[in-house]
Amino acid sequence: MTDDQLLRYSRHILLDAIGIEGQERILATHALIIGAGGLGSPVALYLASAGIGKITLVDDDTVDFTNLQRQILHVQSRVGMAKAESGKQALAAINPTVDVVPVQKRLAGAELDALVATADIVLDCTDNFSTRHAINRACVHHRKPLVSGAAIRFDGQISVYDQRHDDAPCYHCLFPEAEDIEEVRCAVMGVLAPLTGIIGSMQATEALKLAAGIGQSLSGRLLLLDALDMEWRSVKFRKDPDCAVCGPNGDARAGEYLRRADADRESATAACRLA
């Protein structure tokens, strides 16, 4: 670690749980952030400021004027710019030493699988179930820890799905893909601006804990926030032994998810347009 790094990250280094070794692990981590919107904004900003070594930022959308209410990665002068490139500029201004790779395209199937394989930690900051399940399948396949958040109206949720541990549940265990779950999006339902900041900041916290190898993650726990009454609930859940994705006969490990995701390429986007 250089003298500049020792100074920049000194407040982390002063924490006994992190120290120099923990910060070095953070510096060596590659985080894949899928979605550069309301959730992806605080995630990316905090991971860059904390010294994550490499950030791949995926989003196929462009900055819209209505995004500025909550997507703090972007500014008015960059309306119309690709979100991935806008995000890269914002992160470079905060910490130019971080390697930021913008990816402005929809990802699914083999492309999504290949990108997940290169990352140490994956952060799902998207806004629809088809994308979330595609990301989950790729993370299960490559045994990559997944930090997933969601925010709509005044309600938020966050959990961690860490397939490095055999007994850890995946996203499909909690939200089975076959179930008919109603999609709700900010465009029609709205979202409280700082709610995405709260959930996104917690996602960044979980990612940094995973990177540094400290603390207890949210694996097996779902945190639910009612921001209108400012009440938190914690729900414990377990691995589904018959899970169609991470179970012993799960199709993610067999590669079936690649064929399914390719067939569903148009609907399974890895970009957060509205979150």
The domain tally of the chain equals 1
Query: Tens place of pLDDT for every residue, the chain, 275 residues?
Result: 999 999 999 999 999 999 999 999 999 999 999 999 999 999 999 999 999 999 999 999 999 999 999 999 999 999 999 999 999 999 999 999 999 999 999 888 899 999 999 999 999 999 888 899 999 999 999 999 999 999 999 999 999 999 999 999 999 999 998 655 555 565 668 999 999 999 999 999 999 999 999 999 999 999 999 999 999 999 999 999 999 999 988 776 434 434 443 444 333 333 333 34
pLDDT at 186: 58
The answer to whether residue 186 is catalytic is yes
Residue whose C-alpha is closest to residue 254's, from 244, 264, 242: 244
Which residues, 6 or more positions from 225, have their beta carbon under 8 angstroms from its beta carbon? 155, 156, 157, 195, 198, 199, 231, 232
Give the 3-state secondary structure of residue 148: strand
Within-domain flag for 114: yes
> Which tokens belong to 168?
């850890």
HSE (CB half, 13 Å, CA atoms) of 23?
19
- For 88, the enclosing helix (H) or strand (E) is helix 83-94
pLDDT (0 to 100) of residue 188: 67
Tokens of 256: 């079936």
pLDDT at 262: 41
* Per-residue model confidence (pLDDT) at position 184: 58
pLDDT of res. 183: 58
Residue 170 is part of which domain span? Answer: 3-263
Q: Residue 161: inside a domain, yes or no?
A: yes
What's the Cα-to-Cα distance from 225 to each of 154, 199, 235, rounded to whole Å? 8, 9, 11
CA 213/CA 215 separation, integer angstroms: 7
Which one of the listed residues 139, 170, 173, 186 is annotated catalytic?
Answer: 186
Does 273 fall in a domain? no
In a domain, 100, yes or no: yes
Examine residue 259 and state whether it is found in any structural domain, yes or no: yes
Any domain includes 226 = yes
Largest CA distance in the chain: 54
Rounded to whole angstroms, the Cα distance separating 230 from 100 reads: 34
Q: Tell me, what's the pLDDT at 172?
A: 95
Instruction: Give the C-alpha separation, 218 to 157, whole Å.
Output: 11
Amino acid at 257: Y
In a domain, 106, yes or no: yes
**What CATH number did the domain enclosing 211 receive?**
3.40.50.720
Residue 269 forms part of a structural domain: no
